[in-house]
Each structure stands twice: as structure tokens, then as C-alpha cells.
Amino acid sequence: MEKTIFADVYVRKSNINLFIFKTCFSFARKNNSMKTITQKEIGQRVSELRKNKGFSQEELAKLLEMSRPSITQIELGKRNLSVIELKKMVDTFSISMDKLLSSDFSVSEIFIDEKSHPEESEIRISVPKLKVGKFKDLLLYILEKCAGKPNVGETVLYKLLYFSDFNYYELYEGHLSGAEYRKLPYGPVPQKLDVIINQMIEGNQLKRIRVDYHGYPQTRYLPLVKPDLSGINANEKDVVDKVIDLYSDWSASAISDYSHKDMPWLASKDGEIIDYELVFYREAPYSVRNYDEMVDTQ
């Protein structure tokens, strides 16, 4: 099969290998280097980690909700891992994706290091920190553009915020509002939003209304003041505008169902905070970054 070279990464032209490229790309951003990663190497590392943890193939298969023959094929380097399977794998072994794909991977060093520095066991390029003022202005801006649309109640609003934040992170590798989102049954929900909205209502910045929409109760918010856009740069505004253009006419059920197929939501456990880094494992139509172009131009 044809291979394309991106620095030291060999990327086969298939979805799974595009995922491996994105994984290596994410790793390299944190370590300023690229590395070769093959299916066989991943299998060997899975085997070493399994044995170090004392799991049989059957036990690991049950933990990952896979068949034992599938584990065998993975360890032999004869079966690909999906993004979700790989995420489950590293969670089961209590290591980060970075360490599994490290060029100097060593099982003994991984677990010795984690015992010595348990608080550093997960390397993150950036931990989101909520920028309350900016979040309020983003909320006001989205509502200014969309509040007149009868479909934009709480559910659609939450998803517009989610796609704005996560699309920006995929494109620019930095946080837009710094909000954290939790995986809940109706899709990703921004945390601390109730507190912020209540503050804005008390400060006469927002008005909350409850209406009947197609026979269902709907909570809507109306902006009472204009957003301060001085703290929002052109790239940030462009991302938000594109999200509004794409999704603001969708129904609550349609945008919720759509968000449930986005990789950050899919790869997270119920109730947990969604890791922004998972945007680098998106595929079409969710991905907003042209990885194929990045491969071809190197």
C-alpha cells in the first residue's frame, strides 16, 4: 500500500492510519519531535502492558469488551485499533496516549515514573481554565446572532458553545473560552453555565424565558446588552461565525444526535469531563483541520 512520509511518520492512505498520523501529530506538538509508529509496535506495547498489569488476554478482552482472538491479533500487529478502542486501552492501563506512543517507550520506566510522580501521569498540552468575562461575551455574541431563531433554546445554545470551543482548539491548539464540557445524555454540556447565566440575569445582561415550542417546554435566553468584542480576536470570531452558520438552524434533537457522533463525545465516559485533545482524532465531517494537506506538503 502506498505510504506518505510526514517527517518520520509513515501514514498509509486510510482512515486508521490518518488517525495514527493525528495521534503522532498531537504527540509531537507536546514534545517538538516526530516518531515512527507502526501497527506492530503498538501491538508489542499492548502485550507488554498487559503482562505488566498481570492480565490474561481473556481478562483484558473482557475489560475492553472485545473478543480474546481480537486481543491476540492486536498484539501480533495484525489488527488495527479504532480510536475508541485505543482510548479504552490506555484508560485500562492507566497511562496516557503520549506514553504509549513515546519514542523511548519502556513499561518499567512508565510505571516507576508514575509511582514517583502520580500527579504527572497524564501529560496535557493545555488545561482549560475558564475565562469568565470572555465566556459571557461569547454567549452574548451567539445570542445576539441567534436569539431570534425559535429553535435556539438551551440545547442548541450548549452545542453552539461546544462546537465553537472544540473547533477552535482543533484549529489553533489553544482554548477559546476555557470552558469544560461534561458528557451527559443529551450531549456535551458546558460546566458552571448555570452560575454564569444567573450572574448575567442578576446583572441585567440576559433574560430567561420559558416558552412552548412544538408542544415541548423550551428555555430561551435573550441578550439585554451588546457583547464586548474587544477581547475576541478575528480568528476566534471567525470560528464562532462558522459554527453559527453551520448549526444555528438545526433542531435540538438533530444537533444533539450530531454531537453524539463527534469523537470527543464518543471517546469519553458517561459523566466525565471531555478532553479537548480528542479533537485531533476527529474524522469528516467533524474535523475542521486539513490533515491531508499537512501530510502532502511535508
Render pLDDT for 263-298 as a digit per residue (tens, 0 to 9).
999 988 899 999 998 898 888 899 998 765 544 444
Average of per-residue pLDDT across 114-120: 43
Q: What is the separation of C-alpha 19 from the centre of its chain, rounded to a whole number of angstroms?
A: 13
Residue pLDDT, tens place only, 147-177 = 889 999 999 999 999 999 999 999 998 999 9
Going by C-alpha positions, the residue among 135, 243, 257 that lies closest to residue 190 is: 135
Mean pLDDT of the chain: 81
Residue 109 has pLDDT above 90, yes or no: no
Q: Is the pLDDT of residue 14 over 70?
A: no
pTM above the 0.85 mark? no
CA dihedral 29→103→8→292, nearest 10 degrees, is: -50
Look up cell 448555570; give the residue.
Answer: 194
Residue 223 has pLDDT above 60, yes or no: yes
**169 by DSSP, 3-state: which?**
helix
Residue 35 binned pLDDT confidence (cut-offs 50, 70, 90):
low
| Residue 285 confidence (pLDDT) | 93
Cell numbers 442578576 label which residue? 202
* Cα–Cα distance list, 72 to 18, 38, 196 (Å): 23, 17, 50
73-97 average pLDDT score:
84
For residue 81, the model assigns a pLDDT of 83
Neighbours of 42 (CB within 10 A): 22
- Tell me if residue 23 falls in helix, strand or coil: helix
pLDDT in tens, 52-70: 888 888 889 888 888 888 8
pLDDT of residue 8 exceeding 50: no
CA distance 143 to 88: 37
Q: Nine-digit cell at 121? A: 501521569
Give how far Cα 259 sits from Cα of 23, 59, 71, 174, Å.
21, 32, 30, 21
- pLDDT above 60: residue 217: yes
Q: What domains can be seen in the chain, in order of their start residue?
A: 3-120 (1.10.260.40), 132-285 (no CATH)
Confidence band of 10 (pLDDT split at 50, 70, 90) = very low
Spatial distance between the Cα atoms of 6 and 35, rounded to a whole number of angstroms: 10
Closest to 125 measured CA to CA, from 285, 279, 282, 288: 279
